[in-house]
Homo-oligomer: A and B are copies of this chain.
Amino acid sequence: MTSTPTAPSSTAVLSRRDVVLLGLAAGTTVLAGVLHYATHTAVLNFVVAGAALAVLASLVGRAVDALGERLGAAATGILQSALGNLPELFVIAFSLKAGLDDVVKSTIVGSILANVLLILGMAFVVGGLKHGKQSFSAEQGRSLGLMLVLAVLILSIPALTSSLHTPAEGHERTLSVLVSVVMLALFALSLPATLRRTTDPAAHVASPIARDLDTAAAVREAEQHGEWPLGLAIGLLALAGLGAAFVSEWFVDALQPAIETLGINQTFAGLVIVAIAGNAVENVVGIQLMARNQADYAVQVVMQSPVQVALTIAPLVTLAAPLLGAASFTLVLSPMLVAALVMSALVAVLVINDGESTWFEGCALIALYCAIAAAFWWG
C-alpha cells in the first residue's frame, strides 16, 4: 500500500545526497569536457559523456522539484512536464543537427521502451522481491495507459502510411507536421487537469502528464533532498541545464566514432544506450519508490516520461527540425520500431490496468525488453 510521505527529516540546505550529486555532476561534466577537447578516445569520451548526462539529468530533476516546491503547486507539474526530459531533448536536437536521423527516431522509441518495459520491470522486480504483491491506483494507471496507447498509435500513423505504400507516400513531412500539431494540442488540453490536480489534491482528476503534489513530495522524500532556497534552485537549474546542453553536444559528437569502434549500429545505440542514459533518473527514482512500497508514485513517475516523450518531444523535434537544418525530418519510424512501440504499449496497459504488480510481472517486462533489443542488435 502507499503511505503518505512525511516531512523530510533533514533541515539543512544541502543534504548529504545533494552534495554527492553536485560533486558527481561537476566532476563528470569537467571530465567529459576535458576528454572532448583534448582527446579522440571515442568509446571513453562516449561513456563519460553519457555518465555526465545521466547525473546532470538527475540534477535538473531535483532542481525542478525544488523550484516547484518554492514557486507553488501549479508550477511543479508544469515545470516537470517542460523540463523533466531536458537532457534527452538536447541529445535528440544535437543528433538531428548532426544528421543522425536514425539515432533520433530510435532514441524517441527507445526512451518509451526503456520506461515502459525495462524501468517499470526493474521497479516491479525490486518492489516485489521486497514487499510481495504491491497495489497502486488502477484508475490513474488506466488513465496513463490510455494516454500512452493513444500517443503510440498517433505516432505510428506516418510510419504506417509509408510502409504500407498508401498514396500518402511522398507527403510524409506534411503528415508528420499535422500529427505533431495534433499531439501538441492533446498535450495542451491535458494541462488544465494537471493544474487542477496540483492545486487541489482532493480533486481526483487523474493527470497523465505531470506529477501532482503528493508524487512530487514522495519523490523528494525518497531522494532525500535538502531544503533549497529559491535562488539556489534557480541557479542550480540554470547551471545544470547549461551543463546538459554542452555535455549533450559532446555526447553526440562521440557517438558515431564510439559505435563504429564497438561495432554497434546506429539504431541499437539510440534504442538502448542513449535511451537508458537519458532515463537514468526515472530508473533510480522509480526503483527507490517501489522499494519504499510507494507503488502509486513509482508507476506515475515511470509512466509519465514516455507519454511526455511521445506527446511533446517527438512533435517539438519534428516542428523545429528545419531550424536545425533537417527540414526533411519526418516521423516515419521503421516498421520494426512501430511494432516494438505497439507491443510495449499493449503490455504496459495489461500490466497496469489491474492495479497490482508482482516481481514476476517485472521479469516478464524485462524479458520482452531483452527480446526486442536483441532484434535490433543487427540494425
Question: In the complex, how many residues of chain A place their beta carbon closer than 8 angstroms to a beta carbon of chain B?
Answer: 57
Q: Is the CB of B354 within 8 A of A139?
A: yes
Least Cβ–Cβ distance between A174 and chain B, in angstroms: 9
A334 lies within 8 A of chain B by Cβ = yes
Of the listed stretches A107-115, A146-154, A293-301, name the one at the interface; the rest are far from the partner chain.
A146-154
Q: How far is the CA of A350 from the CA of B376 in the complex (A)?
A: 30
Q: Which of A174-197 contact B (CB under 8 A)?
A: 175, 178-179, 182-183, 185-186, 189-190, 193
Q: Is the CB of A364 within 8 A of B146?
A: yes
A24 lies within 8 A of chain B by Cβ = no
Residues of chain B contacted by A142 (CB below 8 angstroms): 350, 354
Residues of chain B contacted by A347 (CB below 8 angstroms): 146, 149-150, 153
Q: Which of A325-379 contact B (CB under 8 A)?
A: 334-336, 339, 343, 346-347, 349-351, 354, 360-361, 363-364, 367-368, 370-372, 374-379
Q: How far is the CA of A175 from the CA of B371 in the complex (A)?
A: 8
Least Cβ–Cβ distance between A363 and chain B, in angstroms: 5
> Which residues of A are at the interface with B, using a C-beta cutoff of 8 A?
139, 142, 145-147, 149-150, 153-154, 157-158, 160-161, 163-164, 166-168, 170-171, 175, 178-179, 182-183, 185-186, 189-190, 193, 265, 334-336, 339, 343, 346-347, 349-351, 354, 360-361, 363-364, 367-368, 370-372, 374-379
Further 18 A-B residue pairs, CB within 8 A, beyond A150-B368, A163-B164? A139-B354, A146-B347, A149-B347, A150-B364, A153-B343, A154-B367, A154-B371, A157-B375, A160-B336, A164-B335, A166-B335, A166-B336, A166-B375, A168-B375, A175-B374, A178-B374, A179-B371, A193-B360
- List 24 A-B pairs, Cβ < 8 Å: A146-B364, A150-B347, A150-B364, A150-B367, A153-B347, A153-B368, A154-B367, A154-B371, A157-B372, A157-B374, A158-B375, A164-B339, A168-B375, A168-B376, A168-B377, A171-B377, A175-B374, A175-B375, A182-B371, A185-B367, A186-B367, A189-B360, A189-B363, A193-B360
